[in-house]
């Protein structure tokens, strides 16, 4: 399988690992931790974190800050991918006000990740 960055992935897990690189980079770039008293380390029991505008992105980023390994179970990788797709579609400024046929990196990634999730919905 060829990914957006034209690298080859030999397994489904490898393909999902490559797909997860982009949202990790994008979310890390978009989330502003300047005023965060926890320096971007999501605290699930802290109401400031759960009510923060960046809460969902911060939670995802902290769960996936470290690159998963090939030993990470495929269902866990697919769940991380689904969460990233949902975040980028609904919360990310990178996807606001884009035309229906947009060729930016984020829209191309969303198209590729969504296609993967549709075709592998019942296989994990």
Which portions of the chain are predicted below pLDDT 70? 1-9, 92-98, 122-124
Q: Residue 7: what pLDDT?
A: 54
CA distances from 4 to 37, 59, 93, 101, 108 (A): 36, 25, 21, 17, 8
What global pTM score does this model have? 0.74
């Amino acid at each position: 399988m060829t990914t957006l960055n034209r690298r080859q992935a030999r397994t489904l897990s490898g393909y999902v690992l490559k797909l997860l690189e982009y949202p990790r980079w994008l979310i890390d770039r978009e989330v502003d931790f300047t005023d965060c008293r926890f320096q971007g380390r999501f605290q699930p029991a802290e109401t400031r974190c759960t009510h923060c505008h960046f809460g969902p992105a911060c939670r995802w980023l902290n769960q996936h800050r470290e690159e998963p390994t090939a030993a990470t179970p495929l269902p866990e990788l697919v769940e991380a991918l689904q969460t990233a797709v949902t975040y980028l579609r609904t919360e990310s400024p990178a996807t606001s006000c884009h035309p229906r046929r947009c060729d930016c990196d984020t829209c191309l990634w969303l198209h590729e990740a969504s296609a993967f999730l549709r075709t592998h919905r019942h296989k994990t």
